[in-house]
Amino acid sequence: MSLFSSDKLKGKRIAILATDGFEQVELTEPQKFLKNEGATVDVVSLKSGSIKGWDMTDWGDKVDVDKTLDDVKVADYDALVLPGGQINPDKLRVEPAAVDFVREFAHSGKLVAAICHGSWTLIEADVVRGKHMTSWPSVKTDLRNAGAEWQDSEVVVDGNFVTSRKPEDLDAFNKKIEEKLLGTAS
């Protein structure tokens, strides 16, 4: 444990579902934060090996995949994190196994946290109707058309959903994920 680590989330297991084209910091920052708080964090993807990030305007770094969708089930985890980027959620929302995993997670009542374009997969899973949410501004109409109430806020909590807009909201996003996992968030 480093000087900046704790064990607040020890025993919690988090899945980060992503594929090539995820927004770099929207995966790596929650991953680092949650691990530093003691959680076990698995990057779950469509394929084994590694996936490549998108860093604002160009390809970013590769991130190792811990498990494929074939290797996991919702019962293995306490929370699901859906990073954005335009490419990543667009690829995930056309993969039936990814959409089924997200749908099952949302229906389980466990924490689902999406940032930026990550909510596209939630829309495809048909689980946003009646939810108060935020996202990258260009996803606003998609969420509204799917029945969500969109608001322009740093972080929005509605039941088991936590959503944020963009990389600049990551501190609030990460903190709210932690609070929900600890049972201290409203």
Q: Helices 170-182 & 24-36, crossing angle to 10 degrees?
A: 40
Residue 64: closest CA among 45, 50, 77 = 50
Tens of pLDDT along 77-134? 999 999 999 999 999 999 999 999 999 999 999 999 999 999 999 999 999 999 999 9
Residue 79: closest CA among 129, 28, 30 = 30
The set of residues, in sequence order, having a beta carbon less than 8 Å from that of 168 and lying 6+ positions away, is: none
SS3 8: coil
Tens of pLDDT along 44-61? 999 999 999 999 899 999
Q: Let me know if 181 is a catalytic residue.
A: no
Tens of pLDDT along 126-159? 999 999 999 999 999 999 999 999 999 999 999 9
Token pair 């969500």 is at which residue? 148
Active-site choice (14, 116, 133, 148):
116
Active-site choice (12, 93, 110, 117):
117
Q: Let me know if 33 is a catalytic residue.
A: no
Q: Which domains does the chain have, with CATH numbers?
A: 13-182 (3.40.50.880)
User: CB of 17 within 8 A of CB of 101?
Assistant: yes
Q: Residue 132 belongs to what H/E stretch?
A: strand 132-133
